[in-house]
Amino acid sequence: MTDFAPFSTPGAFLKGNIHTHSNRSDGALPPEEVARRYRAAGYDFLSLTDHFLPAFGFPLTDISALRTEDFTPLLGAELHAPRTEMSELWHLVAVGLPEDFAPTAAGEDGPALARRAFEAGAFVGIAHPAWYQLTFEDALSLIDHTHSVEIYNHGCQVMHDKGDGAYMLDGLADKGHRLLTYACDDAHFKTPDFGGGWIELKAEDRSPEAILSALKAGQFYSTQGPKIHMVAREGDGLLIECTPASGILVIGRGYQHGYHFEQGVSHAVIPLDGLEGSPWLRVIVIGTDGKRAWTNPYWL
């Protein structure tokens, strides 16, 4: 294990959300107001991912005119096509789409749509798998053209208690699939669904191109609030430094894990003997308020 991204990368973290909605689809607020609220809350970048459906005119909600020195919009959408085993539509987040990305074609299914977005240069994510009961078989059909799984979707948690994507991320990792993971709001601004999950990312600069490249490279971690300052190998253990927490977990294949529970812990070296033989691991920090932060999986 040589690279503990993004903690081994120099530079400051940028705060961003890559899945949220405006009234260009089914959100309550105009795009400009959505962007204003994220900027006011200290976000450095935002992708407004309205539902790419014929009912809304296949919107690619462009807020690039709102770019400033400290706020970077990324063009994206939530893509849909028929159908999964359990749902009428696929739900795929695509960030960094070209302006001329074509509407979903007749007969185009989810895997084909994911491939087209991937080949167009987008960062493609499997959105809220628990919310619509996405099966492993369906997820496996996306593997070659997908970068990530949502680890936490705040809107789905608030409205349905189905915001967790860990079962899908870890199940795919156990099958050898090296996906990243991100947290998001999926805010529609009709309920308290704003500001509950985001990513902290390191990029070469604040341009859309640099942020998109850092997304694809996994130069970020996800959080509901706790901050992770360092993940590094120390002897036979894993060193984690973070804001004061109540617990730090290191998990791997199946039920393999290590842990340190202590109120206010901000520095711990967790032995890895409980993860012997696991090809991957990831870190979870549990804040003193119960909120969590998650690293991407690291492959050993």
CA distance to 22, 41, 98, 157, 207, per residue, from 196 (Å): 17, 11, 28, 10, 25
DSSP state of 65: G
- The average pLDDT across 121-146 equals 98
Instruction: Report which of 49, 58, 63, 43 is spatially closest to residue 19, judged by C-alpha positions.
Output: 49
Give the per-residue pLDDT at 3: 63
CA distance to 5, 212, 223, 252, per residue, from 272 (Å): 19, 33, 23, 10
Give the per-residue pLDDT at 271: 96
Q: Scanning the structure block, which residue is given the tokens 């705060």?
A: 15
Instruction: Report which of 266, 240, 243, 264 is spatially closest to residue 251, judged by C-alpha positions.
Output: 240
- Partners of 241 in beta bridges: 230, 267
User: How far apart, in whole angstroms, are the C-alpha atoms of residue 179 and residue 295?
Assistant: 12
What would the CATH number be for the domain defined by 14-221?
Answer: 3.20.20.140
Q: Where in the chain is the domain with CATH 3.20.20.140?
A: 14-221
pLDDT digits (tens, 9 = 90+) for 193-250: 999 999 999 999 999 999 999 999 999 999 999 999 999 999 999 999 999 999 999 9
Whether the pLDDT of residue 168 is over 60: the answer is yes
Domain 228-299 sits in CATH 3.40.50: no
Residue 285, Cβ neighbours under 10 Å: how many? 31
Average pLDDT, the chain: 97
User: How far apart, in whole angstroms, are the C-alpha atoms of residue 208 and residue 232?
Assistant: 29
Residues 20/187, Cβ–Cβ less than 8 Å: yes
Q: What does pTM read for this prediction?
A: 0.97
- The average pLDDT across 273-294 equals 97
| Structure tokens belonging to residue 193 | 């669904």
Whether the pLDDT of residue 64 is over 60: the answer is yes
pLDDT digits (tens, 9 = 90+) for 31-40: 999 999 999 9
User: How far apart, in whole angstroms, are the C-alpha atoms of residue 139 and residue 177?
Assistant: 11
pLDDT digits (tens, 9 = 90+) for 72-100: 999 999 999 999 999 999 999 999 999 99
Give the per-residue pLDDT at 92: 98
User: How far apart, in whole angstroms, are the C-alpha atoms of residue 278 and residue 196?
Assistant: 31
Q: Cα-Cα-Cα-Cα dihedral of 262, 153, 162, 192, to 10°?
A: 90
User: How far apart, in whole angstroms, are the C-alpha atoms of residue 237 and residue 25?
Assistant: 48
Q: Where in the chain is the domain with CATH 2.60.40?
A: 228-299
- Taking the alpha carbons of 251, 253, 254, 255 in that order, is the dihedral positive or negative? negative
Instruction: Report which of 149, 155, 77, 86 is spatially closest to residue 113, judged by C-alpha positions.
Output: 77
Whether the pLDDT of residue 1 is over 50: the answer is no
pLDDT digits (tens, 9 = 90+) for 12-45: 999 999 999 999 999 999 999 999 999 999 999 9
Cα 242 from chain centroid? 20
